[in-house]
Amino acid sequence: MPTNLPPEAQAKWEEYSKAKTPEEKLQKLREFYSLIPKHKGTEKMEKFIKRRMAELKEEIERKRYAKKSKGVSLMVEKRGAAQMVLVGFTNSGRSTLLARLTNARPEISPKPFTTMRPVEGMMDFRGAQVQVVEAPPLIPEAQGGPTNLAIALAKNSDVLGITVSSVEDPIGSLETIFGFLESREISFERPAGRVRIKRSRAAPALIIINKGRLVDCSEREVRELLLQFGIDRAWVEIEGSVTMDDVEEAIFGEKSYKPAIIFLTKSDMLEDPSVVDEVRRRYESKVIGVVASPTQLPSRDELGEMILRELGLIRVFTKSKNERLPSERAVILPRNSSVIDLAEFIHESFKERFRYAKVWSGRLPYSPMKVGPDFLLEDGDVVEIVVS
């Protein structure tokens, strides 16, 4: 754990944290690196700084790449309930899969490197949408603008769709892709705990919200570490079992956990269908699903629900008093949300004006059931809120 940083190093870290542009951040980080003592206790920090400097250089390169692309923004603003980014090698079937899942009409060609900019589409399923983005191809041996852009899109996603051709050594392709993504600090191992740091000048102080359990450290030690890096006004949420290493990773942004679905494309061309079973055997513990496309491609409803379950999200349909049917578009809420959470989401005044709610659901003994503000909602519930 990094401790006893010189005051000038702490001050430089604060300057880095406040820097706005990647160029400025890179300069401040170089200066910070020159000021920290080099010993075993700072090894993790040194590793982070070197990697972060490399990432900033890549970000600067992406900006130059975007300028060459006539100033078009190459990052994709999130829409819908969640975002799934399709990553894979060239000619792995990403464009065909995007067209099958969404309303997008990407250019589909046997010619390599057809997709060099992100292409998005919306996957509609019962009451919700998942945004599906095709990233440029991964080229691990030639890490340039397109590959760096694909990594940036992957890190910004909610779910990854790892796309490999089932007829072109899928096991070898998956080993290469997983190894490459993990080398770029994308993790596929679900963490036992999570630390979220939301820095804001609106925060009155450093507020730690402990919803989990600290392992081999105290809240006082966590607070001291955060303050050491200039995090003095922020909301810090702790969930699950969290160690001091987890806190450091949250400060340094070391790893990004991403749930993933493997899409084995061109499965209709497979001569030996046992290939799909072999991929499942090897990787089912690492991903949330292995899908053979097009032969075993689930419906949009099934795929959308799989993604929402993994992300801990539910769909709740609202109903007005004078309407016979509920809304077609669902409200997306975190799992374990209550009726009052829904009321506040609809309008902040509903929390104060709330009287009761009616819930329609197949899990209830009868519908509608009159419930209070703390009633927990589940996926697919229909709710009518009554306010004063």
**Is residue 2's pLDDT more than 80?**
no
Q: What is the pLDDT of residues 81-105, one digit of tens each?
A: 999 999 999 989 999 999 999 988 8
Task: Mark 244-265 as b/e (b = at least 16 C-beta within 10 Å).
Answer: bebbbbbbbebbeebbbbbbbb
Q: What is the pLDDT of residues 315-355, one digit of tens each?
A: 999 999 888 899 999 999 998 899 999 999 999 899 899 99
Mean pLDDT of 292-304: 93
Least confident of 55-64, 134-143, 174-183, 293-302: 55-64
CA 363 remoteness from chain centre: 31
Mean pLDDT of 126-155: 88
Cα–Cα distance list, 124 to 318, 329, 347 (Å):
18, 10, 25
Is CATH 3.10.20.30 the right assignment for the domain spanning 313-387?
A: yes
Q: What is the pLDDT of residue 69?
A: 56
The two three-digit tokens of residue 203, written as one number: 């925060």
Alpha carbon distance 214, 191 (integer Å): 14
- The second-level CATH assignment, the architecture, of 82-188+258-310 is 3-Layer(aba) Sandwich (3.40)
Mean pLDDT of 376-380: 96
**Is residue 278's pLDDT more than 90?**
yes
Q: What is the pLDDT of residues 208-265, one digit of tens each?
A: 988 889 998 999 999 988 887 778 888 888 989 999 888 887 887 667 889 999 999 9
Least confident of 22-31, 134-143, 147-156, 379-388: 134-143
Q: What is the pLDDT of residue 70?
A: 55
Alpha carbon distance 178, 136 (integer Å): 16
Confidence of residue 146 (pLDDT cuts 50, 70, 90): confident
Any idea where the domains of the chain sit in the sequence? 82-188+258-310, 191-254, 313-387
* pLDDT > 70: percent of the chain: 94
- Beta-strand pair 260-265/159-165: parallel
Q: What is the pLDDT of residues 22-77, one digit of tens each?
A: 899 899 999 988 988 887 777 777 877 887 888 788 778 767 766 665 544 567 88
Mean pLDDT, the chain, whole residue set: 88
**Is residue 156's pLDDT more than 80?**
yes
Beta bridge partners of 164: 264
Q: What is the pLDDT of residue 1?
A: 41
Mean pLDDT of 179-203: 84
At residue 381's C-alpha, the angle toward residues 350 and 378, to 5°, is 95
Mean pLDDT of 120-131: 96
Alpha carbon distance 206, 208 (integer Å): 7
Mean pLDDT of 267-290: 92
Q: What is the pLDDT of residue 112?
A: 65
User: 108 burial class (0-12, 13-18, 19+ CB within 10 angstroms)?
Assistant: middle
Alpha carbon distance 353, 297 (integer Å): 46
